[in-house]
Amino acid sequence: MDKQGDIRTLNLDQLISREGDQLELKIKNETDEDADARRARDSADAKLKRAMALILFVFALLITGTVFIACIVVALFGSPEDKKWACSIVTGITSGLVGYLVGQSKK
């Protein structure tokens, strides 16, 4: 880079000499106060996303658990016709849980 006073010049052709190379130019004009406010906002957003994900997970777990327990009761004490659909639902929930746990172990 050549300096000409306070202005820096740069030959962009030298930076992008190969086919497929890309150049991205970002100019950050952010004060320290703006950066602190952005970091605080990003931190609050991340905390909210984690809380929402946890609430959704707990809600889904409660609903699934309730359906699972109800189907177990129907499978044990219901009529033969009711046992068929109850066992199908229990099998589906169990398969989904196993798939979820296997997927988590691969991360």
Q: Which tens digit of pLDDT belongs to each residue from 56-88?
A: 999 999 999 999 999 999 999 999 999 999 999
The reply to whether 75 falls in a domain is yes
The reply to whether 9 falls in a domain is no
Q: Which residues of 3-33 are buried (b: 16+ CB within 10 A; e: fewer)?
A: eeeeeeeeeeeeeeeeeeeeeeeeeeeeeee
How many domains does the chain divide into?
Answer: 1
pLDDT exceeds cutoff 60 at 6: no
The reply to whether 41 falls in a domain is yes
- In terms of residue numbers, what domain contains 91? 29-105
The reply to whether 20 falls in a domain is no
The reply to whether 50 falls in a domain is yes
Residue 32's pLDDT band, with cuts at 50, 70 and 90, is confident
Q: What pLDDT was estimated at residue 15?
A: 67
Q: Which residues pair with 85 in a beta bridge?
A: none
For residues 44 and 66, is the Cβ–Cβ distance under 8 A? Answer: no
**Which one is predicted more confidently, 27 or 93?**
93
The reply to whether 11 falls in a domain is no
